Amino acid sequence: MDTRAGIVLLGRQKKGLAEFMKVVKDKREYRAAFGVLLRGEGKSASEVGRKLGVTEKQVFTWCRKFSERGIGGLRMKKQTGRKPIKKSKAKQIIPELLKKDPQAFGYLKGRWVLRDIARELRKEGIDLHYTGVRRALADLGITLKQPKLRAPGSIKKNYRKRAEIRRYKRVASALLKKT
């Protein structure tokens, strides 16, 4: 073993780290286990840090935690903080809402957009900004197609179309149908 490794791994420890890396779902835990494994193979902390995109200090921390507590020391702690109440409620409503046609809710558009979803959630009593709606959709694995309002072709040919689009953008927020 090279003296610069700083950590000596036994055969069962290497096997345990490899098994841990196969089953772990958190990329930070995977990276920590891989870093300890590389250090055990004799790589320097600066080499490991460069390869994994972390500082030398972080590599030393992983090795110390592994030496003290074993594989359990590489587990990341659960995130602290307040639970997202609004977003969790919105995640239950959004999939049902997206199954319905936006025109049934009085919108002239043929597809859902983030601001309209946020407006409908507000009617349900969930005051969530449209950026929060985007994050909730990302958590659910749903992506919305983002339409681009533009007139194809040259400016000379489509000046009327471009003016029409500008007017539409100006009054788009007022296009909610009267029920």
Predicted confidence at residue 1, as pLDDT, reads 38
Instruction: Provide the CA 15 distance to its chain's centre, in angstroms.
Output: 31
% the chain with pLDDT above 90: 24
Question: In this structure, is the dihedral angle defined by the CA atoms of residues 109, 114, 119 and 120, taken in order, positive or negative?
Answer: positive
pLDDT of 10-42, one tens digit each?
888 888 888 888 888 888 899 999 999 999 888
C-alpha 173/C-alpha 3 separation (Å) is 68
Q: What is the mean pLDDT of residues 118-139?
A: 91
Q: What distance in Å separates the CA atoms of residue 106 and residue 169, rounded to the nearest whole number? A: 18
Residue pair 90/122 in contact by the 8 Å Cβ criterion = no
Residues of the chain with pLDDT > 70, as a percent, come to: 84
pLDDT at residue number 174: 63
Torsion of CA 5, 9, 14, 15, to 10 degrees: 170
Using the structure block, give the residue that is written with the tokens 């779902």: 25
Across all residues in the chain, what is the average pLDDT? 82
Which amino acid is located at 7 in the chain?
Answer: I
Neighbouring residues of 170: CB distance < 8 A, sequence distance ≥ 6: none
**85-99 vs 114-123: helix crossing angle, rounded to 10:** 110
More confident residue, 122 or 82: 122
Residue 49 above 80 pLDDT?
yes
